[in-house]
Chain A
C-alpha cells in the first residue's frame, strides 16, 4: 500500500537551473508533509515542511508547493548546486499519528 509515491527514481539537472521533485499521496487524512535529503551512509536531513492549510512554503532556495485537490506536492530548488546531489524523500503524517510515511526517494544529480 503505497500511500506516498515518488515516481521518478532519478533526476538529472544542470547546475544553476531549477530542480523540481514530485510526490503524490493517496491518503486524504495526511495533513503535514516534509522533504528530507539523504546522502549515502548518513541519516535523512530535514529540509522543509508544509501544513495542509497552506499551499506554499519557502525557505531560501527551497520551495514546497502543495496541491491538495490533486494530492500532489513538489519541491523546487533554485538555483541547483552541486551539493544538492542526494536522494530526496517526501514524507507525510496524519493528525495524531506522528509517524512519517515515506516515499521511495528520488536521486537528484546536479551536472556541472
Chain B
C-alpha cells in the first residue's frame, strides 16, 4: 500500500540554523500539506500546496517558513532560522483528487531546537 515517507525521523539543530524537512507524498496525489504538533498540544495546520503553489497557510507559517516541490516526488519544508519554539513533530500529508478529503500522513520528523 502506498504511503507517505518523511526524512529524517529526528533532527536536532541549534537555534538560528536552517533546517529542511523532507517528504515523499503518495505518487498520484495532488495536494500536499505540512502540520505540526508541539508536545502535549493539538495538531496544527501550517500550509497546503497544490499545482506548484501555496493554496493556504496559517498564521504560524510566517516568513521563516517556506515549502517547495523541487521535483516530481519530493515536498520540503524549510525553516530559515529556527527558534526554540519550533521544536515539535512535523507531519507531511497528501491527498488525492478533490472529491475525497482524506489526508494521508507520514510518520513525522521530530525537530529539536537547542
Chain A residues packing against B (C-beta within 8 Å): 32, 34, 36, 41-46, 49, 89, 91, 93, 97-105
Interface of A is mostly: strand
* Contact, CB under 8 Å: B42 / A104: yes
A-B contact pairs, 8 of them (CB 8 A): A43-B93, A43-B106, A43-B108, A45-B105, A89-B43, A98-B56, A100-B103, A101-B45
CA of A45 to CA of B93 in the docked complex: distance in angstroms?
11
* Contact, CB under 8 Å: A99 / B43: no
Contacts of A46 in B (CB 8 A): 102-105
* Contact, CB under 8 Å: B48 / A99: yes
* Contact, CB under 8 Å: A44 / B95: no
Q: Contacts A49-B101, A104-B42; is A99 near B33 (CB within 8 Å)?
A: yes
A sample of 18 more A-B contacts (CB under 8 A), given A36-B105, A49-B102, is A32-B101, A34-B101, A34-B102, A41-B108, A42-B107, A43-B4, A43-B6, A43-B106, A43-B108, A44-B91, A44-B105, A91-B43, A93-B101, A98-B31, A99-B58, A100-B45, A104-B42, A105-B42
Q: Contacts A102-B43, A104-B42; is A43 near B56 (CB within 8 Å)?
A: no
Q: How many residues of B contact A (CB 8 A)?
A: 24
Minimum Cβ distance to chain A for residue B51 (Å): 13
* Contact, CB under 8 Å: B102 / A43: no
- Interface contacts (Cβ under 8 Å), in number, total 53
Chain B residues packing against A (C-beta within 8 Å): 4, 6, 31, 33, 35, 42-45, 48, 55-56, 58, 91, 93, 95, 101-108
Chain B, Cβ-Cβ closest to A32: B101
Minimum Cβ distance to chain A for residue B5 (Å): 10
Contacts of A101 in B (CB 8 A): 45
Chain B, Cβ-Cβ closest to A93: B101
Chain B, Cβ-Cβ closest to A99: B45
CA of A93 to CA of B102 in the docked complex: distance in angstroms?
10
Chain B, Cβ-Cβ closest to A49: B102
Minimum Cβ distance to chain A for residue B11 (Å): 15
Chain A, Cβ-Cβ closest to B101: A32
Minimum Cβ distance to chain A for residue B36 (Å): 11
